[in-house]
Structures are given as structure tokens and as C-alpha cells.
Amino acid sequence: MDSALLIHRLHFAFTATFHYLFPQLTMGLALLIVALKTLALRTHNEIYNQAARFWAKIFGINFILGVVTGIPMEFQFGTNWSHFARVTGGVIGQPLVMEGVFSFFLESAFLGLFLFGEKRLSPKAHWWAAFLVFFGSWLSGYFIIVTDAWMQHPVAFQRAADGSFQVISFWGLLLNPWAILQYAHNMSGAVITGAFVMAGVGAYYLLEGKFTEHARVFVRVGVISGFIFSALQIFPTGDLHGKYMARHQPVTTAAMEGLFKTETGAPMVILGQPDEEHQRIDNPLVVNKVLSFLIYGTTTAEVKGLNEYPKDQWPTSIPLLYYSYHIMAGLGTIFIAVMAAAAFLLWRRKLYESRWLLWIIMLCLPLPYIANTAGWMTAEIGRQPWLVYGLMRTTEGYSKYVHAGNGLFTLLGFMGLYSVLAILFLVLIHREIAHGPGAITDHAYAGNPITVA
Amino acid sequence: MLFVWFWLVAIMITGYVVLDGFDLGAGVLHLFIAKTDQERRTVIRTIGPVWDGNEVWLLAGGGTLYFAFPLLYASGFSGFYLPLMIVLWLLILRGIGIELRMHLEGTVWRGFFDGCFALSSILLAVFYGAALGNVVRGVPLNQERYFFLPLWTNWRTGPDPGILDWYTVIAGVVALLALTIHGAHYVAVKTSGDLNSRARRVASLLWPALVLVTIVSLWATLSIRPDALINYRRFPVLYVIPIAVALSLIAMYLHRRRNQDKGAFLASCAYLIFMLVGAAASVYPNLLVSTTDPALNITVYNAAAGSYSLSYGLIWWSFGMALAIGYFVFIYRMFRGKVTA
């Protein structure tokens, strides 16, 4: 592989992966904070407001890291992928500017009001501030998914005489079926991260015997939402997205599943290592006929393997794609198992005393981050070797006048800077969790409300 | 249509400079006018609720530029690769400097965040000025209308320029001075007591320097780009723009002398607006000129996106920006008045 191409791919992959650690939590948490604020309004129980305030602090730190690591994403289409940006700007320029105009202004305006305005707003007005932050962040997610979905499944465009892509239907682009399915699956994944973090922190407090009143709220809200969204993640969102993908990117599906040869009644590979050279799975653990059933709803259907497609259309990193997908799916299965057990014990009123399960919930806290990352890797590695599926190859899109030396310089710069950010983030989050909910804070705005002169 | 989108992009960029400009100016001054922890907190609180929204103008402006003129975005962003990446790093440092300071106590932590905030603001102001200087000077576009500029070469403006040469450094100094004064006026409006009087003093002291570099930059622009006045000669009414720049400077001086903080701040807003509008009026219909061959210039005609998306875009874009301006009016009203200790 040409080294400039490799570096530009790593540049985007690294910055995007690091960036998405933060929005997945803020989008998920935003919904849960709105739920807590709603409970506070309904029940007039101050504990829900205290819980919302605690999570707003965690949210605020994550949000600021999401903002500062998000700006480079919008620049990198032009800086590192200039030819792609030039050829497809007539299409993807639209969702990208819509995100700025419709979401970022909304979020930035109401975030300050939500984080620092509780004292000067009525409870209802503060609920609205929380809701608008949630709405803005979920809208922002939709525009990004529309952009990615168009690369996965290009619709509503025309090629101009110079080869550039131009949008021909505003709604056709925004309502790309791929975008709707991917959005449902992705946002559900974000809520799972939020739910596991909330429940995990609650479980930690219960195990430590600290802040137990608040911790029970965290565990309860986290487990109920975690259970609902872990189920939605598999059915219907994952199921429908997978079927749509099998129809439109069959070669990707074959690579994800490790299906080298076409089979009737194809099995699903649970474990095993793909061996590209001999085109088989080593040490396979398979369930017969399940893959055919999952894709076509019948155990006898034929599923096309990689052998049906020319090699220049195969995804470029089959083992990595296979593992990403299997890690995502495997973790998704674990999530539903853990959350179903927790929800059952919650219903039986035994959860807060079941220390073994609280331990498991706490230890599961990092796993949704891995699952969401692996899911995005499945989508993006699965799209290879294309930038625009079937129409523009990744090798055509990068900035060829930004040579490898310059690309590596800035990639190393980002790695260094993001290491500093990661350390700062961990210090700050550790501090907030040690502080706990209900503690009095010394925040610049919160402590000294800005008076109106 | 193309004319409209050219000016919408120009308005977005101008909006960014005027709004985030005072955040940057406050950052430049942060270490110099705020001595105690309390004063530093106050400076940060003057911009605290608004800086993030102000920065969104950069994203929305860049997005609008990409949407309307994809070729300009692709060529410009890859050609200015190194300075843009440095700008991104500085924006990251500034963001954490402002936002994370309040989360950690201790002299060393706060000193670290204050340093991030101040240093990144100073460098961002210089880089933005230099960026504008590069656009006015032109870049060596090749046959595919791409280019790549190193950070510096021989500091001359000839056929093989770098991002930094004598001309763009002058532009950087203009931006640093203009935004520092802009920030000083803003801090003066939002504070009282010692901070207010120090901010006023900085603005008064720097004013003659701003007048001087504004004149120098005008002379420098005409000497490296003798064709910069083509549009002005064709439409002499445009000469009101440089006159407006001069009047803004005079208004700034008069308001400053009478200690009218709001008037002085509005005058520096006007100065920034007319400087940028003057530059935009001079380059149209070019977006990025080639130093090698005028036939390779990137213009509104060869860089624009398809007419369907541009005409449809006018509807939703205007709607979205009207909403955004509504949020801004609301937020600035919520947080109006002086920040008190």
C-alpha cells in the first residue's frame, strides 16, 4: 500500500475513533438525563435532580472533549481527503453544513444554559434546556450518519460532466434507507454506553457503600434503559441493518461472517480465525444454517461466499473486519444477558443486594465503548475498498499533494495531544466520581451566578 | 446565485471573526490584564457562556464554504494542510484551557490552563491573519488546481511562497492587534474595576499601532497585488468600504477617549467587518488566485456545487441561520451585563 494512503487512512481512523469515545456517551447520557429530569418534575423528588446534576457534570466534561476532538473531523475531509471532498462535495457538503447550522448552534446555545443556568431558570425551563441539548446532539448524529450512509449506499445523486457527484433530491439524500437503519442501530448503541456507564458507576457506589441513595437511582435507570436498548440493538435495529447490508453489500457480509465459499443453509461462525491464504476458518465453532436464517428467514437459503466476487472488490482487511464484527456481536449478546439478569433481579427487588451482579455490571462499564468502536470499524472497514460504495475507490480519494512525511507529522501530533487529553479526561472523571453526587461544587459559573446588571 | 453564496460565505467568516475575535482577544490579554485567580476567573466568565457558540461560526462557515464551493474547500484545506492542523491543535488547547480550568483547583493546574488559553489565543490570531494574507497573495495552483504550501520558504512573496512570508506576517500582526483591541473593548464592556481600567488602557495604547499596521497592510497589499483594485475601479461606490474602515478607527478612538466601552466595542466590530468586506469585494469572483497562471484561479464559477443543491440550499440554510441568530440573541440577552465577582 502506498504509504501516504496508509497514513491518511490512519489519520482519519485514529482521530475519528478517539473522537467517538465522547459523543457516544453524551448522546446516550443526554437521553438519560432528560429521563431523570422528567422523573424529577413528575415525582417532585429532589434525588432525581441531584442525580441529573451529577450526570450533567460528567456530561459537560465529555461534551467539551467531544467538541474539541470533533472539529478536526470536519476539517479532515478537505485536509487529508481532498479529492474525495472535491468530487463528492456536491452531495455530502449538504449534511455536513446542516449539522453545523441546525445542531451545533442549538447545542452550544443551550448547553451553557443547561449546565450553569439551573439557578436562574424554572424547573420546567431547565427541563427544556436539557431536552434541547439532547435534541441537538441526536440531530447532529443524524447528519453524520446521513453522510456515512451515502458513502455506504449512495442515493439521490447524478454524476456531472467533470465526474463530480451532485445531489438531485434533498429528501432522497436525507431519507436514505441505509441512514435510517444505521441511525437506529447507532443511537441505540450510544444509549447502551450511557446506560452501562450510569449503572456501572451506581454499582461501584453500592459496592463501596457510598452515596447509596443516588446509586440506586443510577442502577435502576441504567439497568432499565440498558435492558431496553440492548434488546433494541439486536432486534429490530441490528437485524434489519444486517439484512439490508446483506442485500446491498453482499461481499462485505460474506467477509464479516467469514464465509469464503457459497453455501446453502450457511452456518454462522461463532468463533474461529479467518485464514485468507487457504480461504477457510481455523478452529471453527459454528451453528449450522443460522446465517441463512438470519439473512433470508429460511434455513435452506443460499448465501454467497467471497468466492463469488472478484478479489479487487473484497474488503481490504478481511481478518480485521471479521474480528470487529464478531467482537461487536459477541459483546451485544453479553449486554443483553447481563441486563436481562439485572432487570429480573431489579423486578424481584434483589438487585441492590446481589453483589456478584453489581460486580459484573461495574466491570462491564468499558465494554460498550469497545462494542461501539468495533461496530464502526465493521461499517467502515466493510465499506473498503470503496469510499463511495461501488463508485469511488479509497485509493482515489486522499490528498496526494500532502505527502506521507507531512501526514505522519500531524498524525504523531494528534497522538501526542490526544494522549494528554486522555490523561486529563481520566483525572477529571476520577475526581467527579470520587466527589460523588450531591456534593457542593465550586464551579466558576455555578458558584457565582452571573448577575444581570 | 453564485454571487449570493459568495457573500453568504463571506458573512459567515466575518461573523466568526467578529464573535470569536473577542474570545481570542480576551485570551491574548488574559495573562497581562488579569493578575489574581479571581480576575482570571472573571475574564474567562466574560466569554464562558458564549465562546463555544462563537466557535460554531467557524464550523458552520467552513461547512457553508464546503457546501457551496467544494473545489475551494478541497484545494484550500489540503494546500494549507500544515497551518490548518496547527490551528486545530490550538483550538483544542484553547477549548480545554477555558473549560477545564474550573474543574481543577491548585495553582499549577490553573497556571497550566491559563497558559493554554493565552498562548493558543495569541497564535490563533496570528495564524488567522496569515491565512487571510495567503488568500489575498495567492498560491501556486497546479493544473489540477491543487497546491501544497510549506510553512515558510524564503520569506518572499514570489512564485514559491510559504505560508509565512513578509506579507502574511504583516497580516498576522494586523490580526493580532485588531483582535487584541477587540477583546480589550469586550472585556471592558463586561467587567468593572481594575480589569475594566486595564482593558481600557491596553486598547488606548494599542490604537496608534493598529492605525499604523492597517495603513502598512494596505500599502503592502497594493504593492504585491496591483490588480487588487480592479473591482474598486469598476464600481467606485466600493470606495466607501475603506472610508468606513477609517471612520471605524476614528470612532474607536473617540469612544475610547470618552470611556464609552460599548461604543468602542461596536467600533471595533465595524472595523473588523469593513476590513473583511473590503478584502472580499476585492477578490470577487476569485476565491483563490494562482500565483503561477491566472487561468488556474479558483473562482465562484469553477468551484460551485450543482445548481439544484445551491438553490434548494438557500431555503433551508436561511431558515437554519435565522434560528441560530435567534439562539444567539437569546443567549446574549440571558448573559448580558457586567460579570461580577
**Which pLDDT tens digit goes with each residue over A161-183?**
999 999 999 999 999 999 999 99
What CATH code is carried by the domain that includes residue B38? Answer: 1.20.1630.10
Closest chain A C-alpha to B6 CA, distance in angstroms: 15
Query: With an 8 Å Cβ cutoff, are B91 and A451 in contact?
Result: no
Closest chain B C-alpha to A291 CA, distance in angstroms: 42
Query: With an 8 Å Cβ cutoff, are B147 and A112 in contact?
Result: no
Instruction: Report the distance separating Cα B269 and Cα B179, nearest Å.
Output: 10
* Mean predicted lDDT score pLDDT of chain A: 93
A210: confidence class by pLDDT, cuts 50, 70, 90: very high
Burial label, B106 (beta-carbon count in 10 A; 0-12, 13-18, 19+): exposed
| Three-state secondary structure readout of chain A | CCHHHHHHHHHHHHHHHHHHCCHHHHHHHHHHHHHHHHHHHHHCCHHHHHHHHHHHHHHHHHHHHHHHHHHHHHHHHHHCCHHHHHHHHHHHHHHHHHHHHHHHHHHHHHHHHHHHCHHHCCHHHHHHHHHHHHHHHHHHHHHHHHHHHHHHCCCCEEECCCCCEEECCHHHHHCCHHHHHHHHHHHHHHHHHHHHHHHHHHHHHHHHCCCHHHHHHHHHHHHHHHHHHHHHHHHHHHHHHHHHHHHHCHHHHHHHHCCCCCEECCCEEEEEEEECCCCEEEEEEEECCHHHHHHHCCCCCEECCHHHCCHHHCCCCHHHHHHHHHHHHHHHHHHHHHHHHHHHHHHCCCHHHCHHHHHHHHHCCCHHHHHHHHHHHHHHHHHCCEEECCCEEHHHCCCCCCCHHHHHHHHHHHHHHHHHHHHHHHHHHHHHHHHCCCCCCCCHHHHCCCCCC
Residue B339 lies inside a defined structural domain of this protein:
no
What is the average pLDDT across B129-153? 93
- Using CA coordinates, name the residue in chain A closest to B150: A406
Output the pLDDT for position A116: 83
What is the average pLDDT across B280-298? 92
Closest chain A C-alpha to B234 CA, distance in angstroms: 33
ipTM score of complex: 0.93
What is the average pLDDT across A32-55? 95
Q: Domain of B31?
A: 2-334
- Count of domains observed in chain B: 1
Residue B281 lies inside a defined structural domain of this protein:
yes
Query: With an 8 Å Cβ cutoff, are A78 and B76 in contact?
Result: yes
Output the pLDDT for position B341: 62
CB < 8 Å to B71, chain A:
86, 89
Which distant-in-sequence residues (6+ apart) come within 8 Å of A336 by Cβ?
A227, A230, A231, A233, A234
Q: Please provide residue A202's backbone torsions phi and psi, each rounded to the nearest 5 degrees.
A: -60, -45
B185-196 residues labelled b (16+ CB within 10 A) or e (exposed): bbbbbbbeeebb
What is the average pLDDT across A5-13? 96
Output the pLDDT for position A2: 67
On the question of pLDDT at B319 being above 90, the answer is yes
pLDDT, tens digit (0-9, with 9 covering 90-100), for A71-81? 999 999 999 99
Output the pLDDT for position A32: 98
CA angle B310, B63, B183 (to 5 degrees): 130
Spatial contact of A279 and A260, defined as CB atoms under 8 Å apart: yes
Spatial contact of B66 and B32, defined as CB atoms under 8 Å apart: no
Query: With an 8 Å Cβ cutoff, are A75 and B84 in contact?
Result: yes
Instruction: Report the distance separating Cα A34 and Cα A31, nearest Å.
Output: 5
pLDDT, tens digit (0-9, with 9 covering 90-100), for A14-31? 999 999 999 999 999 999
Query: With an 8 Å Cβ cutoff, are B66 and A102 in contact?
Result: no
Output the pLDDT for position B160: 81
- Using CA coordinates, name the residue in chain A closest to B42: A444
* Mean predicted lDDT score pLDDT of chain B: 94
Query: With an 8 Å Cβ cutoff, are A452 and B60 in contact?
Result: no
Which distant-in-sequence residues (6+ apart) come within 8 Å of A90 by Cβ?
A157, A160, A164, A165, A166, A167, B70, B305, B306, B309
Q: In this structure, are strands B286-288 and B298-299 parallel, antiparallel, or unpaired?
A: antiparallel
Q: Which of A108-117, A152-161, A206-215, B257-266 has the lowest mean pLDDT?
A: A108-117
What is the average pLDDT across B94-114? 91
User: What's the whole-model pTM score?
Assistant: 0.94
Output the pLDDT for position A444: 37
Instruction: Report the distance separating Cα A163 and Cα A395, nearest Å.
Output: 16
Output the pLDDT for position A161: 92
Output the pLDDT for position A443: 43
Query: With an 8 Å Cβ cutoff, are B73 and A78 in contact?
Result: yes
Which distant-in-sequence residues (6+ apart) come within 8 Å of A209 by Cβ?
none
Instruction: Report the distance separating Cα A39 and Cα B1, nearest Å.
Output: 50
Residue B341 lies inside a defined structural domain of this protein:
no
Phi/psi region, residue A399 (left: phi>0; alpha: psi -120 to 50; beta: rest), is beta
Instruction: Report the distance separating Cα A42 and Cα A16, nearest Å.
Output: 39
Closest chain A C-alpha to B102 CA, distance in angstroms: 6
Residue B340 lies inside a defined structural domain of this protein:
no
CB < 8 Å to B341, chain A:
448
Query: With an 8 Å Cβ cutoff, are B331 and A170 in contact?
Result: no
Among B66, B79, B338, beta carbon nearest to A93? B66
Instruction: Report the distance separating Cα A392 and Cα A385, nearest Å.
Output: 9
CB < 8 Å to A109, chain B:
53, 327-328, 330-331
Among A68, A94, A445, beta carbon nearest to B91? A68
pLDDT, tens digit (0-9, with 9 covering 90-100), for A335-391? 999 999 999 999 999 999 999 999 999 999 999 999 999 999 999 999 999 999 999
pLDDT, tens digit (0-9, with 9 covering 90-100), for B42-67? 999 999 889 999 999 999 999 999 99
On the question of pLDDT at A448 being above 60, the answer is no
On the question of pLDDT at B154 being above 90, the answer is no
